[in-house]
Amino acid sequence: MLHKQSITPEDYREAMSRFAGHVHVVTAEFDGVKRGMTATACCSVSDAPPTVLVCINRTNPRNETFFNAGSFAINTLAIDHVPVANAFSGFADMTDEERFSVGAWDTITTGAPTLADARAVFDCRVLELKPMSTHMVVFGQVVGLRLGEHRPALIYLDRKYRDL
Ligand SMILES: Cc1cc2nc3c(=O)[nH]c(=O)nc-3n(C[C@H](O)[C@H](O)[C@H](O)COP(=O)(O)O)c2cc1C
């Protein structure tokens, strides 16, 4: 057991690796440029009106698309979406366009790319962008929903993908 009061980013990341997170791909499109990013920092805020948030690294210039688009989608992954999660995590050296050749993508309401067979899709209009240290907290109102087939969820825990 380790107790610490002086916390480094490495300590924090190690502790967060023990925190199970559902894996999603967050997407947006702006000026003809599509962007997608594997993310676990997605959270429900309210059901009335339906509101979510996602925390996006703002030190990565490629994430500007999310902050300019005015809309985004959260695509909630199932265990069979590991290739999609890998494509959008930056581990595979693929361009943004190549990433969208993995999985079947369409649109619902806002025009943000949506994954046809996701467990659930939350298509959102941006309500507010709140910079917080290295990240941008993006609040969205859910204006389109798609409920996919029930099958095991893709979870990230102890730096590995697992199903639940
Ligand atoms: C399981 C997992 C969860 C992630 N969660 C987030 C997240 O919530 N927010 C974030 O900004 N980046 C997150 N990332 C990192 C981004 O996916 C990654 O930095 C980005 O896709 C790299 O994009 P690039 O190759 O286009 O620069 C996560 C990565 C993985 C593998």
Which residue range(s) make up the domain with 138?
22-163
16 found inside a domain: no
- List the pLDDT tens digit at each of the 164 positions of the chain: 677 789 999 999 999 999 999 999 999 999 999 999 999 999 999 999 999 999 999 999 999 999 999 999 999 999 999 999 999 998 888 998 899 999 999 999 999 999 999 999 999 999 999 999 999 999 999 999 999 999 999 999 999 999 99
DSSP string, 29-65: EETTEEEEEEES-EEEEEETTEEEEEEEESSSGGGHH
CATH number of domain containing 112: 2.30.110.10
- DSSP class of 158: T
108 found inside a domain: yes
Residue of 129, 146, 149 lying closest to 138 (CA atoms)? 129
Residues with CB under 6 A from ligand 1: 23, 37-41, 55-57, 60, 62, 88-90, 156
158 found inside a domain: yes
13 found inside a domain: no
Domain count, the chain: 1
Distance of CA 1 from the midpoint of ligand 1 (Å):
29
Q: Whose CA is nearest to atom 12 of ligand 1?
A: 39
Distance of CA 135 from the midpoint of ligand 1 (Å):
11
